[in-house]
Homo-oligomer: A and B are copies of this chain.
Amino acid sequence: MTETERSAERFSPRVRALPSTIPFVGPEALERRLGRPFKARLGANESVFGPSPKAVSAMADAAALSWAYGDAEQLDLRQAISQKLGLTPDHIVAGEGIDGLLRDLVQAAMEPGDMAVTSLGAYPTFNYHVTAHGGALDFVPYGEDFRQDWPALVARAKVVRPKILYLTNPDNPTGSWHDAKAVEAVLRDVPEETLIVLDEAYADFAPAEALPETTRLAPNLLRFRTFSKAYGMAGVRVGFVFGEPDAIAQFGKVRNHFGLSRMAQAGALAALSDDDHLRKTVEKVAAGRKALAELARAKGLVPLASGTNFVAIDLGRDGTYARAVLDAVLRRGVFIRMPGAAPLDRMIRVSVGTPADIALFAEALDGALEEVNADQPHLPTGNAS
């Protein structure tokens, strides 16, 4: 056996063959490439309004106690979450962000060759975990209205009968949402052996009409939420899933039991006790969304309605054009992102920041549009195909 052959035998041949690209290049990595720090960080849908001071204080206190592993059963946190939701702790499992929990789910649900159905251009980290576990993905395009096409996803699930159907509500990267009735239609029509992931990362920002009651569960429904967005704790890594106890129990067979740090548990628990901070953050985000939308309209661009903490802005041309504008904004020191797949890739996606952040973005966008429109005056307008 040659070294090349031996090397190929180390690790799974399937994993060896995977690309080294990661779902999201982080802002620190971009800063290193660009050679300077960003002036405004509006690309990862973080909350610049920060965590609750109560959470910050609880985490600082927990730092000194962090010689001890965190509670593997996460009981205090699961109790507090379940009380908020009108459920019991056995309906809840917490984990290292929704990313970590999606990984747990994929590992628990899918064997190599199993199928998952998602929207083309939806959250790439879900796709990443499916692929990294040997699963196969089936994609349904977004609708003409830039929303996930739930009827088409359901129809596809009836044909493919996947292990997992991935839905977001409200949606990233568009900010759009479906209403609770649409969730009911999905629950009625999707094969009962398919697990429905309802990724509600942005639920705290959503119009009330978008969200089924938190007590609306089903044997094949798993609802994912996070402290990364409205609670302003992306860097802490805490998310949770709620669902029926039998489904929740399967996470315990694969998850990293001591993975949720002592600081994360203490911080999330304290954050749940500060409704006032959450309310104020949601208000600031609503104001920021409005400011971003007005700014886009003032430049003749089309902001999408958003039930999240970001605004997708339709630049009205194609992916090449949007990519050029994005790069020009990044070079001007403002971190934003854009969707990767058509028809969404004619947009840029801007997280809500402080008024100062939004002013920096406005200035960078002005310069970027001027530069790109001067360089590429002949780019086609209209949908990318």
Contact = CB atoms under 8 A, between A and B. Distances in A.
Most-contacted residue by chain B among A11, A195, A257 (CB, 10 A): A11
A71 B109 CA distance: 29
B263 A235 contact: yes
A213 interface: no
A22 B251 CA distance: 11
Interface string A67-100: 1111111010000000000000000000011011
Interface in A168-203: 192-195
B262 A9 contact: no
Nearest to A193: B9
Interface string A120-134: 000000000000111
Count copies of this chain in the complex: 2
Interface string A12-43: 10111011101111111100100000000100
A10 interface: yes
A97 B258 contact: yes
Of the four ranges (under 10, 10 to 19, 20 to 34, 35 or more), the interface on chain A belongs to 35 or more
A28 B73 contact: yes
A26 B70 CA distance: 8
B63 A256 contact: no
Contacts of A60: 59-60, 63
A99 B256 contact: yes
A41 to B, nearest CB: 7
Given A7-B219, A132-B253, A235-B67, A193 B1 contact: yes
A193 B234 contact: no
Given A26-B73, A63-B267, A257-B23, A68 B46 contact: yes
9 contacts: A1-B193, A6-B219, A12-B114, A20-B249, A51-B67, A66-B232, A99-B256, A237-B258, A237-B259
